Amino acid sequence: MNSAALHIEALDLAYGPHQVLSKLTLAEVPPGSVVGVLGANGAGKSSLLRAVARMERAQGELRLGSLDLLRGRREDLLQHVAYLPQALPQASSLRVLEVIVGVLRATCPGLSAAAREERFHSVLAELQLLPLAMRRLDQLSGGQRQMVGLAQVLVRRASLMLLDEPTSALDLRWQMQTLHALRAAARDRGAIVCLAMHDLNLAARHCDRLVVLGPRGLLAEGPPAAVLRAEVLREAFKVDARIVQGADQLPVVLVERAEPFLADSG
Amino acid sequence: MTTTSISPTADLQTQYRQLQRRRVLVLALLGLALGGIVLIDLCTGPSPFPLSQVWAGLWQPDSLPTEQQIILWEVRLPRALLAALVGAALGLAGAEMQTVLNNPLASPFTLGVSAGASVGASLVVISGWTWSLWNENLALTGGAFAGAAVTTLLIVWLAWRQGATSETVVLFGIALLFSFEAALWMIQYIADSNALQQIVFWTMGSLGRATVTKVGMLALVLLGCGLWAARDAWTLTALRGGEEQARSLGLAVGRLRLVVLLRISLLAATALSFVGTIGFVGLVGPHVGRLLVGEDHRYYLPASALAGGLMVSGAAVLSKSLVPGVVLPIGIVTALIGVPMFMALLLRRKSIA
């Protein structure tokens, strides 16, 4: 299952009368890819991830290899798909270790105690969170709690990881740490990583492919250099941007001016 | 971000085991304290018994004169046990309620369950049913149980209809509390003086109606609900990490909320129908439990129950000893000692969990 591709076709999602995703079809995502989902607020980034994670009820075709993500058994889904909500883990008095072990108990009930130990230890070490392992969530900063949420997803070793703005509360160093860990999961385990994000340059640097959603659905998809163009950004974000080539040939986006909000259709 | 040295696995394991051992120790101490205070409860009363006599009387009833035997076994023991059990039931109910509604203000009292019980009991009092077929005791208990059960079922029904978001449930519960209080005042306004006295007495809470049967019934309900809750301990713990997080782990949060609310309704309705209004325990017990052992529900649920039991048992002792020769209503004493205790806890929120 670790070499399964993600297939999204004619995906529909509505909240009541409000159609958020309409017949969305994306090119097949091969295993080992990191996909950045971009778009203005309300364009449907979170909804897309939630639909794939079956957090919302969507229609269409959604498959990971042979696993039907819309109609398959929930237990199989939990085995293979891990979703990180945009909301940070709640500031309760639970310990970091407890919430990570809790995730393993809920999603991988067959795991032995030793295997559980190995898993949470390696993920805490990888994210450099070991010094926080015995701390209470309500004693952590927002960014630290976001890292705990990331650890909860990584520890499951799922073949599809869906992360809703995983770096929104992180400083520069932790942003790098997060994207390195996700890249490593894609490279070493052949996992597919889908990230909703706002930082275009971070996306350009770390993603293999970008998907840009606009008010009327898919605006562009493909490798960063092909997608990050001034006209796409104008349509998606209503900004005038200049794209320059960085030293390593990656595009760097400089936003010069935003359109006034009057004409914004949301 | 602290950059202390990275501890190896073994170190982390040791630390976690130590933490768990400390929690078990806290639970054991709470249990011992509860046992101790129940013994003190047995010793205090209009005719004080020395501890040695109580102890002997418990193991060898025949060692006591008949009169004392009757006082110990038929009056004090049911009352003392009922106090501890009611406290434990309310503490457990409050703890589960605060978790599933994700609100530290949730408790059978604040969401109107005990007000519902009072309305039920009061309706029985003014309807005059107490004088007909049933004996008064049973009628009051039945009315209160029906009132509390109807209240929680209303809350459950709303939770189910609204997709069970926690804010609406809490708001609805608070709204119910106000309507039931208004209904209670209305009933008191139209009641005759005899009935009025009975209603007021009910709303102050009393252990006076304790019987061995009631102790047995509540013990069974508490045991059943406790074991049932223990099965959900992991799920409830996961819920404390965040509702979205729990849902992303495949937990059916909405269904869990309904099941837990139903369980609480059974627990709280049984407890409240035997003793009348005892507020605050369901609210404070869980906070004490959380401060002492954290929120791993394997420890948090029993700790909240034990803390609740301790509070009501402590209040029972005080209710007999504050004013010599007078037994004050238990509900009044519980709130009087509960409120300052709660304030103190909130002010020095330093947890050892």
> Is residue A244 in a domain?
no
A228 within a domain of the structure (yes/no): no
In a domain, B53, yes or no: yes
Mean pLDDT of chain B: 85
B143 assigned to some structural domain: yes
Nearest to B6 among A53, A94, A130 (CB): A130
CB A259 within 8 A of CB A238: yes
Tell me if A60 is assigned to some domain: yes
Domain assignment present for A230: no
Domain limits at A205? 6-214
CB pairs under 8 A between A and B: 101
| Domain count for chain A | 1
A19: CATH: 3.40.50.300
- Which residues of chain B have a CB within 8 Å of the CB of A75? 250
Whether A144 contacts chain B with CB within 8 A: yes
Residue among A237, A233, A245, A240 at smallest CA distance from A256:
A240
pLDDT band, residue A265 (cuts 50/70/90): very low
Are residues B249 and A107, on separate chains, in Cβ contact within 8 Å? yes
Residue B300 pLDDT greater than 70, yes or no: yes
Asked whether residue B3 is domain-assigned, the answer is no
Identify whether A123 is part of a domain: yes
A98 in any annotated domain: yes
Domain count, chain B: 1
> pLDDT tens, B222-267?
999 999 999 999 899 999 988 889 999 888 888 888 888 888 888 9
Task: Report the gap between the CA of B290 and the closest CA in chain A (Å).
Answer: 8
> Regarding predicted confidence, which is higher, B338 or A55?
A55
Residue range(s) defining the domain that contains residue B240: 18-347
Asked whether residue A164 is assigned to any structural domain, the reply reads yes
Q: Which residues of B touch A131 (CB under 8 A)?
A: 2-7
Nearest chain B alpha carbon to A98: B296
Contact B295 A93 (CB under 8 A): yes
Q: Which strands form A59-64's sheet, in the order they lie side by side?
A: A18-24, A6-15, A59-64, A67-68
Residue of chain B whose alpha carbon sits nearest to that of A88: B242
Structure confidence at residue A83 (pLDDT) = 95
Are the C-beta atoms of B106 and B170 separated by less than 8 Å?
A: yes
* B350 in contact with A, Cβ within 8 Å: no
Q: Which among A94, A105, A135, A136 is the top mutation candidate for probing chain B, defined by the most B β-carbons within 10 Å of its own β-carbon?
A: A94
Query: Taking CB atoms and an 8 Å cutoff, what residues of chain B touch A106?
Result: 234-235, 238, 249-251
Residue B258 lies in a domain: yes
Give the residue, B331 or A68, on which the prediction is more confident. A68
CATH code, domain with B222: 1.10.3470.10
Smallest CA–CA separation between A215 and chain B, in Å? 26
Q: Residues A217-231: pLDDT tens digits? A: 899 999 999 999 999
Name the residue of chain A whose CA is nearest to B287's CA: A93
Q: What is the pTM of this model?
A: 0.87
